[in-house]
Amino acid sequence: MTNTAATRDGYGQALLELAVNPRVVVLEADLGKSTKSLHFRKEHPERTVSCGIGEQNMLLVGAGLAASGYIPFASTFAIFTERAFEQMRNGIARPNLAVHVCGSHGGTHTGTDGSSAQSIEDLAIYRTLPNVIVMHPSDIVSTKVLTMQLAESNSPSYTRTARNKTPVLYEGREDEIKIGKGVVLKEGHDVAIVACGVMVSQALDAAEALAAKGVSAAVVDMHTLKPLDGALIDRLVSTCGALVTAEDHNVIGGLGGAVAEHVTANVYAPLERVGVQDRFGESGQADEMLDVMQISSPYIVDAAMRAIARKA
């Protein structure tokens, strides 16, 4: 039985470990219990700033702290960070202030709260901002490692975490995780599945199903959407000749968009994008939502077969 855990807990654990650095400050917008910054608050209330239910203010309080030498980590639900998009654009990305924004409860996987809480566009909008690192880790271990690496970064960032549990993939493999570097979880030569976040474990399931059909699929955890690991994409194109992207996000502008932009400007390979088909979700359990949105592992298998069929 695979261990499971929620990536948002990895964020909470990272903040606690980062607390040894007195420059680390945590900002909350009344969702610390949900995003898991509450553990930091409990241990370090003097370095935790409640911004109330005010996301626009929170992000720029972070900018002010960053400009004065502090390392602010601000979290709320992914969907609510979007309310402060222009603050992120004009007050953080433009002056290149290293404010680290974490949007938890991202994607349709967040489940029964329904479409108002299911951000399917966050990765896309932040990816359009110069200077901003955009990440969507797949498991609790990588979320913790990547969050801790952010504290050493001089760039602003947006990291999406998930509410619900996903398989733990990186226990004992912490050294393989680096911002901006995709991780090849499984080698293959017929097709490469490039996934992020909650879809990485779905991609691994799909690769097993494909193996049963005699298809060799590589699986990559592309936890960093920006800067995209283009060198890895190029290698996958040359070894596999066909690509599938898999994300719990609109097919417009997210991981699929990023990979499509890369392959059309570099070495080309047919690409099938598994993701939310430009529509809003509804209330449902996490696993049900992946099926309803047609992004669970069987849909990745179908996409892989289509990508292979399109090879020249």
- Say which of 55, 121, 247, 272 is annotated catalytic: 55
Question: Does residue 44 bind another protein (CB under 8 A)?
Answer: no
Type of residue numbered 282: E
217 close to 300: Cβ distance less than 8 angstroms = no
Is residue 306 within 8 Å of residue 273, measured between CB atoms? Answer: no
**Residue 150 engages another protein in binding (rule: CB under 8 A):** no
The 8-class DSSP code of residue 46 comes to G
Candidate list 34, 56, 115, 155; residue touching another protein; CB under 8 A: 56
If one asks whether residue 66 binds another protein (CB under 8 A), the answer comes out as: yes
Catalytic residue status for 43: no
Q: Is residue 128 close enough to count as binding another protein by CB under 8 A?
A: no
Shortest distance, CB of residue 90 to another protein, whole angstroms? Answer: 4
Contact 189, 218 (CB under 8 A): yes
Within its chain, how far is the Cα of 107 from the centroid? 10
Q: Which of 18, 65, 183, 246 binds another protein (CB under 8 A)?
A: 65
Q: Is 52 in the site for another protein (CB under 8 A)?
A: yes
Among 3, 21, 45, 86, which residue sits at the site for another protein (rule: CB under 8 A)?
A: 86
User: Contact between 63 and another protein (CB under 8 A)?
Assistant: yes
Which residues, in sequence order, are CB contacts of 45 under 8 Å at separation 6+?
none
- Which residue, 252, 269, 248, is CA-closest to 195? 248
Q: Cβ of residue 206: shortest distance to another protein, in angstroms? A: 44
- With binding defined as CB under 8 A, does residue 64 bind another protein? yes
Q: Counting contacts by CB under 8 A, is residue 45 touching another protein?
A: no
- The token duo for 283 is 């209330």
Interface with another protein by CB under 8 A: which range of 30-38, 94-102, 117-125, 203-211? 94-102
